[in-house]
Amino acid sequence: MTTQTEIVRAKQSVGGRIASALGGTALRVFLVLVGLFWLVPTIGLLIGSLRTSADMSESGWWKVFGAPSQMTLDNYSNLLKDETITDSILSSVMITVPATLLVVVLGSLAGYAFAWMDFPGRDWWFIGVVGLLVVPVQVALLPVSELFGEIGIFETTVGVVLFHVAFGLPFAIFLLRNFFAEIPRELLEAARLDGAGELRLFLRVVMPLGAPAIASLGIFQFLWVWNDMLIALIFADSENPPITVALQQQVRFFGDNVHILAPGAFISMVIPLAVFFAFQRQFVSGVMAGAVK
Amino acid sequence: MASANAGGTAKVAPPAPTPRKSVTGTRRMVAVLFLLPALVLLGALVLYPIGYSLFRSFFDSSGDFTAFDNYKTLFTDDSILTAIKNNAIWLVVAPTVATALGLIFAVLTERVRWGTAFKLVIFMPMAISMLAAGIIFRLVYESDPDRGVANAVAVSVHDTFAESSAFPQAHPSMKSPLKSAGGGAFITKDPVRAGTPVVLPLTGVPPNEMPDDAKAAKAARPDPDRVTGTAWQDFTRGKGRGEVNAPDTAEFGYAGIKVEAVKDGEVVASTEAGADGTFALPKEADGAQLRFPASNFREPYNGVDWLGPSLITPAVIGSYLWMWAGFAMVLIAAGLASVPRELLEAARVDGANEWQVFRRVTVPLLAPVLAVVLVTLMINVLKIFDLVFVIPPGSSKDDANVLALQLYNSAFGDRDAGVASAIAMLLFLLVIPVMLFNIRRMRREGRR
């Protein structure tokens, strides 16, 4: 048996090594080309955002490699003087931060209850929540806009935040309940014996131990809300929209306003990209856990 | 406790039994307090809208009961039918191609040292908004090859393989000896004779678009053994046409224009005109008709009309793949990491080549992961909105329509709550199988 294996290995090493070396080079070249192909659109946007509108209407962004002096930060400084843009960034923050925190807090509370509390029909309730994972937001757009209209929070930040929280909760509860359920029972019992109450147990034991899952969830929800356009388009205050909606309003005049759109899009990408690069691992595990969403 | 449960599944009625009893002997009131905020929000903003949409879908825009009329509208209204058709294309193409790309990337990067860097590049677009991706691709797809990178590439590739024509707007004038030969070519009305110079006058090329090497047109010298002639721009600036059908000194030759001699529909000889427009064809051309093939006059290639009505959906799907292939890749790579090495090694030892190992061992082992990726992407694609809202210009918006966009337009543009609710129910109906699948999986896992 062993000898057979050795023979096969030896055979491979005669002609196979050259072939695999060649194949290896071809593979590397291919991957580099694909990688470049994937980067080109973003590079185009970045360079486009650094050229004047006159240069942009004259020639493609790739011409900048022959004339690096075309690069200028003017578009950015003009844009950051524009109050609609700075206000919209602020507005994005005002929506994203509470929507993320609320999902984390409410999701943790419910996830803990589903994992460790005893009440009738617990698993049925949880299965109901899991069922809601895949409900498309589109189903709720019209009914909720009418509902919000009646209680007076249509086109307000509160409304957008509540909508995001509601549609973030099924995933949050699903993720956190499963993670909390893995916490060793002895830890909770020990804390209980020390006289910790329900709230104390939750804050001092469950939340710290659940930190990795909570981080994944927070990052995921943050990006989801920050990047959302549809919900903000309908529920946000149209006088004070978040950055995605502010930019979307510019897209209608596409052509003469690349000097606004390109840097604007890039500014809107800076925060998610920073979060992405800083928390890659949590982001990836969030994506993997969310594969059912 | 856990082991007692594992043996006792049979007696347990659904749902899952309770492997973890409360550690705290919780009072119900506390459980309610922990759950209430989440459940109230879910009930009011997720559950209630489903019921309301179902109810509302049976009433028309002004609130009168119409039974199933709104659902009939879904399958009769042109704009909604376009949306359904496009959604079907999206559902079939986007998840499959994204998964295939993800699989290829995951497998190929597995043994490359800088595979992680590559994965980062592919995965990065997932972090940005669909709006930003839409703006990025609006720039990529711009039709002017001097601005949009996709067409810049298309044009340079095209021009490498096919020469561009020099005289796109040239055409015979009124009294010309040339007539149209169909398909953009021009042909002499009469056969030509060796020894008698032929005049082939054309007009219509703006002076600044004439070839750089064009010189003053000359009358060709007669040659008894050859068919000679001149092809030139029979138009003199300022004084109109000069002498009609004869080259003037102020007129320029069509340098490099192709001339063919055609007998009985077959090309017997061909040549290109010199800088002064003169050309000479061998004796075989005697008695043939001379033709300017259509390639002389073809419009310059300007690339692909990505954002035009016919390509808009594939173009938007392209931008989606750019965003989501990374998602498929990451999930598949994780699945790949858990494939036992020994199995692959055993197959190789048995003499399977890399393709066979991939096809017969890796893919079957990955099947569950591939299914999850496909289903996730399908749900995602079903709801596709932002990219379709942002990328298509006004002229091809209707051709790019999808259900989520149609719902938005029906609800907030046409103000037809009935039709909008019917579309919402259609979307909801389509995710129900996945919902049931998730629930089944949950219950299975709970029982374990």
Over residues A4-46, the pLDDT tens digits come to: 544 444 445 555 566 676 677 888 899 999 999 999 999 999 9
Question: What is the mean pLDDT of the segment spanning A218-223?
Answer: 93
Amino acid at A235: F
Pairwise pLDDT comparison (B413 vs B302), residue with the higher score: B413
Burial class for B75, CB neighbours closer than 10 Å (0-12, 13-18, 19+): exposed
A160 close to B (CB below 8 A): no
Choose among B41, B420, B442: nearest Cβ to A166.
B41
The separation between CA B40 and the C-alpha centre of its own chain, rounded to angstroms, equals 43
Q: Does the pLDDT at position B232 exceed 90?
A: no
Contact at 8 Å (CB) between B220 and B276?
A: no
Amino acid at A100: T
Question: What pLDDT is attached to residue B25?
Answer: 60
Let me know if domain B78-146+306-406 sits in CATH 1.10.3720.10. Answer: yes
Instruction: For tokens 């030892």, name the residue.
Output: B349
Query: Of the candidates B279, B277, B278, B259, which has an alpha carbon nearest to the alpha carbon of residue B268?
Result: B259
Both structure tokens of B381: 């694609």
Question: What pLDDT is attached to residue B4?
Answer: 34
Q: Does the pLDDT at position B141 exceed 70?
A: yes
Q: What residue ranges do the domains of chain B occupy? A: 2-53, 78-146+306-406, 178-296
Q: Is the dihedral of CA B310, B154, B95, A245 positive or negative?
A: negative
CA distances from B344 to A134, B21, B268, B356 (A): 36, 43, 63, 10
Report how far residue B34's alpha carbon sits from residue B28's, in angstroms, rounded to the nearest whole number.
Answer: 10
Partners of B202 in the beta sheet? B233
User: Which residues in chain B are closer than 8 Å to A279, comparing Cβ atoms?
Assistant: none
Q: pLDDT, tens digit, for every residue of B37-77?
A: 999 999 999 999 999 999 999 999 888 999 899 999 999 99
Both structure tokens of A181: 């359920």
Report how far residue A256's alpha carbon sits from residue B291's, in angstroms, rounded to the nearest whole number.
Answer: 45
CA distances from A32 to A247, B56, B117, B118 (A): 33, 53, 10, 8
Report how far residue B102's alpha carbon sits from residue A95's, in angstroms, rounded to the nearest whole number.
Answer: 33
Which chain A residue's Cα is nearest to B106? Answer: A31
CATH of the domain spanning A76-292, picked from 2.40.128.640, 1.10.3720.10, 3.40.50.300, 2.40.30.10: 1.10.3720.10
* Count of C-beta atoms within a 10 Å radius of residue A221: 26
Interface predicted TM-score (ipTM) of this complex, two decimals:
0.90
Q: pLDDT, tens digit, for every residue of A106-122?
A: 999 999 999 988 888 89
Report how far residue B248's alpha carbon sits from residue B218's, in angstroms, rounded to the nearest whole number.
Answer: 8
Q: Is B1 helix (H, G, I), strand (E, B) or coil?
A: coil
The separation between CA A173 and the C-alpha centre of its own chain, rounded to angstroms, equals 17
Query: Of the candidates B204, B176, B223, B198, which has an alpha carbon nearest to the alpha carbon of residue B273?
Result: B198
Q: What is the pLDDT confidence band of residue A196, given thresholds at 50, 70 and 90? A: confident
User: Which residues in chain A are closer than 8 Å to B442, comparing Cβ atoms?
Assistant: 126-127, 130
Amino acid at B41: L
Query: Across A154-158, A255-259, B154-158, which has the greatest mean pLDDT?
Result: A154-158
Report how far residue A103's alpha carbon sits from residue A218's, in angstroms, rounded to the nearest whole number.
Answer: 8
Question: What pLDDT is attached to residue A46?
Answer: 93
Q: Does the pLDDT at position A293 exceed 50?
A: no
Choose among A123, A188, A288: nearest Cβ to B446.
A123
The separation between CA B217 and the C-alpha centre of its own chain, rounded to angstroms, equals 47
For A10, half-sphere exposure in the C-beta direction (CA atoms, 13 angstrom radius) is 6
Report how far residue B201's alpha carbon sits from residue B224's, in angstroms, rounded to the nearest whole number.
Answer: 22
Contact at 8 Å (CB) between A168 and A103?
A: yes
Burial class for B266, CB neighbours closer than 10 Å (0-12, 13-18, 19+): exposed
Question: What pLDDT is attached to residue B174?
Answer: 72
DSSP code at position B182: E
Q: Is B378 helix (H, G, I), strand (E, B) or coil?
A: helix
Question: What is the mean pLDDT of the segment spanning B372-387?
Answer: 94
CA distances from B254 to B163, B251, B420 (A): 16, 10, 62
Antiparallel, parallel or unpaired: β B278-281 and B266-272: unpaired
- Which residues 399-428 of B have a C-beta within 8 angstroms of A? 403-404, 407-408, 411-412, 417, 420-421, 423-425, 427-428
Question: What pLDDT is attached to residue A258?
Answer: 86
Both structure tokens of A174: 């699903």
Both structure tokens of B195: 């020894």
* Count of C-beta atoms within a 10 Å radius of residue B120: 15
Task: Tally the residues of chain A.
Answer: 293
Strand order in the sheet with B185-188: B178-182, B185-188, B289-292, B258-263, B266-272
Contact at 8 Å (CB) between A45 and A60?
A: no
Residue B366: CB partners within 8 Å, gap ≥ 6?
Answer: B103, B332, B335, B336, B339
Question: What pLDDT is attached to residue B24?
Answer: 54
For chain B, the straight-line distance linking the first and the last C-alpha, in angstroms and rounded, comes to 13
Amino acid at A187: L
Both structure tokens of A52: 């004047």
CA distances from B235 to B171, B185, B250, B256, B260 (A): 12, 20, 9, 18, 23
* Helix %, strand %, coil % of chain A (to 5): 85, 0, 15
Q: What is the pLDDT confidence band of residue B240, given thresholds at 50, 70 and 90? A: low
Substitution target from A9, A61, A139 for chain B, most B beta carbons within 10 A: A139
Query: Of the candidates A172, A284, A216, A292, which has an alpha carbon nearest to the alpha carbon of residue B374?
Result: A292
For chain A, the straight-line distance linking the first and the last C-alpha, in angstroms and rounded, comes to 48
CA of B396, closest CA in chain A: separation in Å? 13
Q: What residue ranges do the domains of chain A occupy? A: 2-72, 76-292
A246 close to B (CB below 8 A): no
Tell me whether the omega of the peptide bond preceding residue B15 falls within 30 degrees of 0, making it cis: yes
* Count of C-beta atoms within a 10 Å radius of residue A225: 26
Pairwise pLDDT comparison (A281 vs B409), residue with the higher score: B409
∠ Cα A247 A253 A255 (to 5°): 105
Report how far residue A61's alpha carbon sits from residue B141's, in angstroms, rounded to the nearest whole number.
Answer: 13
Query: Of the candidates B134, B381, B140, which has an alpha carbon nearest to the alpha carbon of residue A252?
Result: B134
Are B137 and A268 within 8 A, CB to CB?
no
Q: Does the pLDDT at position B6 exceed 70?
A: no
Are B330 and A8 within 8 A, CB to CB?
no
* Count of C-beta atoms within a 10 Å radius of residue A43: 14
DSSP code at position B233: E
Substitution target from A117, A224, A271 for chain B, most B beta carbons within 10 A: A117
